[in-house]
Amino acid sequence: GQQVMQIPQYQHVQEGEDFTTYCNSSTTLSNIQWYKQRPGGHPVFLIQLVKSGEVKKQKRLTFQFGEAKKNSSLHITATQTTDVGTYFCAGTPTPSGGYNKLIFGAGTRLAVHP
């Protein structure tokens, strides 16, 4: 079936270090969304990428969508303790049949040590 794989599962960094999580799909995606879930909280939408090769930035966060629209990455520069949480990618396989069926990756849990 359609799968979205996300690595690594866990990442521990010292505050100030960079962090990257990778997302790979077995099928072409119409779009990729990224969500952040703080410990004990619910997923919160961060960003959506829809174009092949697209790169978007939000302050210290850089999001990329691969040329083949099968992979994506989230890079955080100079992590802070406020970055702690689990980062999920979620994509809509092509074709989607018009329904926004998001396939979620398992998430990468980020721990930041001060």
Q: Does 81 bind other proteins (CB under 8 A)?
A: no
CA distance 112 to 80: 7
Q: Which of 28, 58, 80, 100 binds other proteins (CB under 8 A)?
A: 100
**What are the strands, taking DSSP E only, across the chain?**
4-7, 10-14, 19-25, 29-37, 43-49, 55-58, 61-65, 71-76, 85-93, 103-104, 108-113
By CB atoms closer than 10 A (0-12, 13-18, 19+), residue 52 is: exposed
The nearer residue to other proteins, 75 or 104, going by C-beta atoms, is: 104
Q: Which of 38, 45, 80, 81 binds other proteins (CB under 8 A)?
A: 45
End-to-end CA distance of the chain: 41
Candidates 11-19, 42-50, 61-69, 72-80: pick the segment binding other proteins (CB under 8 A): 42-50
Candidates 51-59, 60-68, 75-83, 87-95: pick the segment binding other proteins (CB under 8 A): 87-95
| Residues in touch with other proteins (CB under 8 A) | 4, 6, 9, 30-31, 33, 41-45, 48, 50, 88, 90, 92, 96, 98-102, 104-107
